[in-house]
Structure formats: structure tokens, C-alpha cells
Amino acid sequence: MAEADVDEPVSEVPAKPAELTAADVSDELRSKFALALEQSDPMPQHQSVTDHAAPARDIQTLDELLKRQIPPLRFEAHIYASEPKQRWVKVNGKDLQEGQWVTADIQLKEITPQYVLLQTGRQMFSMQALTEWSYRLPNP
């Protein structure tokens, strides 16, 4: 075990800075902080599955005619990466990347952290990651 050198000067421990109170923070800074928190919330608690932040309509909200034309879709794996070439999903047993075709009529446009964006014809729509779709007649 090493011994301390008694001739070496002792450095002082810096004093603890004074605690700030809410009164010490300006109203402008508090409002900027509140706005930043509000904008950083990825999904507000009041949103439902069909009312989400994806940049396309949820499949459940599409017109009935269009929903009937979409075949069953089963997403079994969902890998999101910051590099688009590394993103992939497994849907209906097929490994697919962005730009590839799920079916002859449905293209996988984008894979986001929580959703997949799909397109059929000119209609873009979204599905939450790792979910299934199968058309069901609406309840009367």
C-alpha cells in the first residue's frame, strides 16, 4: 500500500454549488422546458392503436372497400436500424426490406421503430409492428 507524501500540498474540495429553486428559474426557461418535454413524448397516453403517430393512416381506418382488398398480413419479425439497408421485417413468412413487395399489389415503403408503412395503389397506410391483419365484416 502506498503512503501519502506529507510534503505534497492538499487541494481543497470545491464548495457545493447553491441549490436552485423554482423561483430562480425564469418563466421563459420553464416554458421552453415544458415545450421540449411535450414535443419529445413519443406517444401521448391518450392515443389509441388506430390513432397513432405514424405518417400514414392506420389500416383499421381505411375505407371498407379497400380493407376488403388487402389480404391477411402477419408480421412475425420487425428489425429497425438507423441505416435503412439494415431494416427488415418478416411478413407472411418472407423476409422483406424497404421497397420490396409484400404481395403483387402491396409495397413495403418504410420500416419505422414502431410501424411499417405500406402502399397499395396510391393509398399509403400503416400497421403497428408485429401485428396481424385479416379483414372482418363490420358489426351491424
Which of residues 134 and 44 earns the better pLDDT score? 134
Residue 66, φ and ψ in degrees, nearest 5: -70, -40
Q: What's the whole-model pTM score?
A: 0.59
pLDDT in the model for residue 47: 40
Q: For the chain, give me the number of helices (H) and strands (E)?
A: 2, 8
C-alpha grid cell, residue 11: 487541494
| pLDDT given for residue 51 in this prediction | 44
pLDDT at residue 46, rounded to an integer? 37
CA distance 31 to 112: 30
Looking at residue 55, the DSSP 8-state letter turns out to be: S
The confidence score (pLDDT) of residue 49 equals 40
Hey, CA dihedral for 20, 26, 30, 35, is it positive or negative? negative
Cα–Cα separations (whole angstroms), residue 104 to 7, 70, 116, 120: 83, 11, 17, 9
β 88-91/106-111 pair status: unpaired
The predicted pLDDT at position 30 comes to: 73
**Across the chain, which distance is largest between two alpha carbons, in Å?**
91
Q: Which range is least confidently modeled, 2-11, 84-93, 112-121?
A: 2-11
pLDDT tens for each residue of 74-111: 999 999 999 999 999 999 999 999 999 999 999 999 99
Measure the CA–CA gap between 15 and 63, rounded to whole angstroms: 66
Percent of the chain with pLDDT over 70: 67
Domain 57-132 classified CATH 1.10.530? no
* pLDDT grade for 36, boundaries at 50, 70 and 90: confident
